[in-house]
Structure 1
Amino acid sequence: MVARLLLLAATVSAGLVAGVYLFYAHTVMPALRATDDRTAVTSYALLDRRIVNPWFLTSSFLGAPALAVAALVATWGDPPAPWVAAALVLHVLTTVVTATVHLPRNNRLTALADDPAAAAEARAALDEPTWTRWNLVRVATSTSALALLGWALTLT
């Protein structure tokens, strides 16, 4: 019963984080791309400052891999374990991409966001094409982790 509950929590958390990355891919970044530098920078900085909060960090960004670890421990030696392990690898990959590609760009943009004269520089620091391309990697890895956890859940 505990294993099933942990697996369910890991699956829900994976869905939440995959949804965030997908929302950025199909809504946020295309909307920002259609605006001028100042609007894009101000809007993105507001989003970035708000997403770094305990709710997102615990329910999704850090919660998804942590719950996958807990689910893996709870299912170790059982049929779901290999699927959970594969999902965990994908969560770690997603986190590495975020830490190495997205966070440095986000931080450069937000550091410049309060200076209206630096809007073009701030937007260039984000490097939208690279940010967007790697976000699609996060969409793929986090959605795949979700699918693997969903499959593992059927095996409990």
Structure 2
Amino acid sequence: MNGLRVASLMAATMTTGLVAGVYASYANAVMPGLAKTDDKTFVGAFQAVDRAIVNPLFLGLGFVGALLFTLLAGLLSLTEKALPWIAIAFVLYLVTMILTIAINVPLNDAIKAAGDPNTIDVAAVRTAFDEAKWRTFNLIRTILGTVAFGLLSWALYVTGKSAVQP
């Protein structure tokens, strides 16, 4: 049971870190880079990137996996000193998922549904997309995801420290 507990905590930490890193990449590179492009480039590039990220590896193993691994780690750590850190990380990561599903995904879906950038009013689509709103909520996801990753890292430390103490 100890091996499964540690393995699930490691998987939770790694997948949460992966997703937090994706959010941070959008916050620090993707969106600032796209902000400097013309409307047609913005719409086309955003559509292409969003279609690419919607894949089983990222969505299944990363995005959903992080929550499930954290839940499993918490359930296997009910009597452990690391439980509070795991529980808080779970809640913070769950909030990132809720924000993603409630705010970022509908904006993503709307820009994808707008159609081919060669045949639509790209300026209107970009305005309707509301970059500021998307970026604000992505920054919140980035911060919460990074804190969750840090808490899970601390939980790993606490777990390891507990294992070597008499």
TM-score for the superposition, normalised by structure 2: 0.91
**Structure 2 partner of 1:150:** 153
Contact 1:69 1:88 in 2 (8 A): yes
Match of 1:69 among 71, 82, 106: 71
Q: May I ask how many residue pairs the two structures share in their alignment?
A: 156
Deviations 1:96-134 (A, max 9, x none): 110111011001100014143321122122200110011
2: distance between equivalents of 1:93 and 1:121?
30
Provide the residue aligned with 2:162 in structure 1: none
Which residue identity does 1:149 align to in structure 2? L
Give, in whole Å, the separation in 2 of the partners of 1:105 and 1:113.
14
In the other structure, the counterpart of 2:109 is 107
1:76-95 matches, cutoff 5 A: 76-95=78-97
Please tell me the root mean square deviation across aligned C-alpha atoms, in Å. 0.9
Runs of 4 or more, structure 1, over 6 Å off, are none
What residue identity is the alignment partner of 2:99? V
Give CA deviations for 1:43-69 in whole Å, capped at 9, x if unaligned. 000000110100001222111111100
Gaps of 5+ in 1: none
Percentage of matched positions with identical amino acids? 40
Structure 2 unmatched runs, 5+: 160-166
Bigger radius of gyration among the two: 2
**SS of structure 1 residue aligned to 2:134:** helix
> Is contact 2:43–2:117 with CA below 8 Å preserved after alignment?
no
> Take 2:26 and 2:58, find their aligned partners in 1: how far apart are those partners?
14
TM-score normalised over the length of structure 1: 0.97
